[in-house]
Amino acid sequence: MSTNESQSPTKGNFWSKLELWKKVLVGMILGVIVGVVMGPEAVMLKPIGTLFINAIKMLIVPLVFFSLIVGVTSMEDTRKMGRIGLKAVVLYLSTTAIAISIGLGFAAIFGPGEGLNMIASDTTTVAKEAPPLIQTFLNLIPKNPVGALAAGNILQIIVFALGLGISLTLIGEKAKPAVAMFESLAEAMYKLTELVMKMAPYGVFGLMAWVSGKFGIDILLPLIKVIAVVYLGSLIHVCVFYSGLIAFIGRLNPIQYLKGLANPAAVAFTTTSSSGTLPATIKAAREEMGVSKGVASFVLPLGATINMDGTALYQGVCAMFIAQAFGIDLSMSDFALIVMTSTLASIGTAGVPGAGLIMLSLVLTTVGLPIEGLAIVAGIDRILDMARTTVNVCGDMMVSILIGKSENELDESIYNTEKSDLAAEREIA
Ligand code: ASP
């Protein structure tokens, strides 16, 4: 080992020091090259990708369960907190449902997967008959939560986790040991996600080699379209929809909102983690937007856990793209199912890099779309994650401002001050 290191110290260091997203990009590019050169033979590299996909699937159930409980229990049980929590949850979820609809709509209009004519190898995963909507609602409540966990029924797990989280909040003092345990397990799951994501460059390499070997270089054009559709949808969601809510519901100048977003948006874009961006978001909410300490420190951490508009928008685009690519027609109840699954799943999506990709596998399986679709978008996940995390954080900020305003906890003199003047004032102070 030490001999190897001394023989090629730079090589080893270079790869291990490279940031994960760059490694993933390298894996993707190498995968495409190897796949194109090898052609259909590249299927022999598929198991590396399958290993990665299986590892991320392994995370879904515990990640959703623990992080959701922790999200709910982080609301404290005072009246005001209850009211603010309710407003936040309603705003978070309704804007998420709109985000996914924008994603589905844009992908329907621009058709990034149109004409790809892919064939799913595992026909059992294709377009199973979706259950009637009423049945889906009835099935939300698990008769046996352990069974739901074992079967990986995410909607049922979400409902049970919400119930358990609320009950833990209600019993107060007695819940402390359990809450501490769930918090530590949630932390461990975030860590495990990070560890699994370390496999991403290799997994993506295997998947891209197999996919481009099987489908040829033509696959790249629709991927560029997917990126363009996700970025366009994200831009409109923040600049038109969020700004509109700030202007019409908050009666505030949306330009000030957009300007105050600069710092946290830049951190979100580069780290692709809304949890990692949280300190920057809280700082900007208080110092640039004038949101009170109480509202910012309650609403924003909750948002970093449960509010994922960008992720939902991306899932809408990807689900539609995959359906188009595999020539599967989605019915109205499929759309409703996608909106519901993504919205509920967004609660349980951790604000860590790549979590949305894991949740996409859940949306695909729920609607019965081929899981191979995941392989195609996994290669460009980092690029998409940058956009969706930024939207996630901008959404958290928007909700904290609206709630601050409605609770009289927004200092409008700070909100309306030119952001450059605020920076100068801070410097003088
Ligand atoms: N990276 C995103 C976030 O932290 C989650 C996702 O992967 O969609 O907000």
Residue-by-residue DSSP string for 320-361: HHHHHHTTPPPPHHHHHHHHHHHHHHHHH--SSTTHHHHHHH
User: Please, are residues 54 and 176 in contact by the beta-carbon 8 Å criterion?
Assistant: no
CA atoms within 13 A on the CB side of 11: 5
pLDDT category at 121 given cuts 50, 70, 90 is low
In a domain, 212, yes or no: yes
In a domain, 4, yes or no: no
pLDDT at site 21: 67
Compute the mean pLDDT over every residue in the chain, rounded to the nearest whole number.
82
Instruction: Among 144-153, 192-201, 314-323, 391-400, name the one with the lowest average pLDDT.
Output: 192-201
Distance 309 CA to ligand 1 centre (A): 10
- pLDDT of 28 > 70? The answer is yes
User: Please, are residues 270 and 281 in contact by the beta-carbon 8 Å criterion?
Assistant: no
Distance 352 CA to ligand 1 centre (A): 5
- pLDDT of 177 > 90? The answer is yes
In a domain, 237, yes or no: yes
pLDDT at site 126: 43
Cβ contacts of 173 within 8 Å, gap of 6 or more:
none
As given in the structure block, the two tokens for residue 333 are: 């109840």
- What residue numbers bound the domain in which 61 lies? 22-428
The identity of residue 26, as a single letter, is V
pLDDT at site 1: 36
CATH of the domain at 158: 1.10.3860.10
How far is Cα 194 from Cα 202, in angstroms, rounded to an integer? 14
In a domain, 195, yes or no: yes
What percent of the chain clears pLDDT 70, i.e. is strictly above it? 85
Mean pLDDT over residues 257-269, rounded?
Answer: 87
Nearest alpha carbon, ligand 1 atom 1: 353
In a domain, 16, yes or no: no
pLDDT at site 8: 45
pLDDT at site 423: 60
Distance 357 CA to ligand 1 centre (A): 9
pLDDT at site 271: 78
In a domain, 397, yes or no: yes
pLDDT category at 127 given cuts 50, 70, 90 is very low
116-120, 136-140, 235-239 — which one is most confidently predicted on average? 235-239
pLDDT at site 428: 61
How many distinct structural domains can be found in the chain?
1
In a domain, 228, yes or no: yes
pLDDT at site 191: 81
pLDDT category at 329 given cuts 50, 70, 90 is confident
pLDDT at site 95: 94
Mean pLDDT over residues 359-368, rounded?
Answer: 84
Task: Identify the residue with better confidence: 4 or 344.
Answer: 344
pLDDT at site 341: 84
Nearest alpha carbon, ligand 1 atom 6: 356
User: Please, are residues 4 and 180 in contact by the beta-carbon 8 Å criterion?
Assistant: no
In a domain, 126, yes or no: yes
- pLDDT of 129 > 60? The answer is no
Residue-by-residue DSSP string for 80-114: HHHHHHHHHHHHHHHHHHHHHHHHHHHHHHH-TTT
As given in the structure block, the two tokens for residue 188 are: 């461990």
Could you read off the pLDDT of 264-289 as tens digits, one per residue? 888 888 778 887 787 788 888 988 89
Distance 171 CA to ligand 1 centre (A): 31
Mean pLDDT over residues 146-169, rounded?
Answer: 85
Query: Ligand 1 pocket by C-beta < 6 Å: which residues?
Result: 272-274, 308, 311, 349, 351-356, 385, 388-389, 392
Total-model pTM: 0.73
Could you read off the pLDDT of 50-96 as tens digits, one per residue? 888 788 778 778 877 887 787 677 656 556 667 887 888 899 989 99
Q: Which of 262, 157, 206 is nearest to 374 (CA)?
A: 206
Mutate to test the pocket of ligand 1, among 392, 394, 396, 397 (most ligand atoms within 8 A of CB): 392
CA atoms within 13 A on the CB side of 92: 30
